[in-house]
Amino acid sequence: ILTEKLKADYWKPIQSGDLAQSDSLAIQNLITNPQTKIHPELYRLNQPLSPHLSAKLDGIEIELDKFRLPETENNLIVEGAGGLMVPLNSKELILDLIKHLNIPVIVVSQNYLGSINHTLLTINTLKQHQINIKGIIFNGDTNLESEDYILKYYGIEYLGNIPMLKNVDKLNIIGAGKNLHF
């Protein structure tokens, strides 16, 4: 949705499992604008597991120093592989990859019981590591009380609310993008 809305390039540096129907392929099939370029993954891992375990089963180790942002003059959406604390290898996390690439983060929070805690922990971790937070997008059913609490607690910029899509297709992607405030 962000890629379509911003007509940005897209890069998922690590794909774990489902290689025949990867996130990059799904995005490529859902984008309607000709400006977007899908950049190839650096690591394509066979098992749908956390990157560190999937890489281990594939007999490789993910090396942080190998990651470089793709060259582009366009905006670039970089999609992680799970949350901030997901391991890449025995000593580094997705958080370390974000710091290494020196990229800002858009937090996406789904409304469910416990989401205030999970979202505030995510924001707190990003702030502790001095990572630029561009804003937050809420996903799913609106819960104004929870959303308002999260926004006020850290003063995070509200970027919009994306409903759960029953049908993920080009028209619904474009429609959902209208809920984002950029």
The set of catalytic residues is: 12
DSSP type of residue 171 = H
Residue pointed to by tokens 């979202």 = 119
Interatomic CA distance for residues 133 and 130, integer angstroms: 9
Neighbours of 151 (CB within 10 A): 15
Task: Determine the residue type at 107.
Answer: V
**How far is residue 53's CA from residue 104's CA, in Å, rounded to a whole number?**
26
Contact between 54 and 48 under an 8 Å Cβ cutoff? The reply is yes
Instruction: Confirm if 112 and 74 have CB atoms less than 8 A apart.
Output: no
> Closest Cα to residue 25, out of 40, 8, 5?
40
Contact assessment for residue 124 and residue 153, using Cβ atoms and an 8 Å cutoff = no
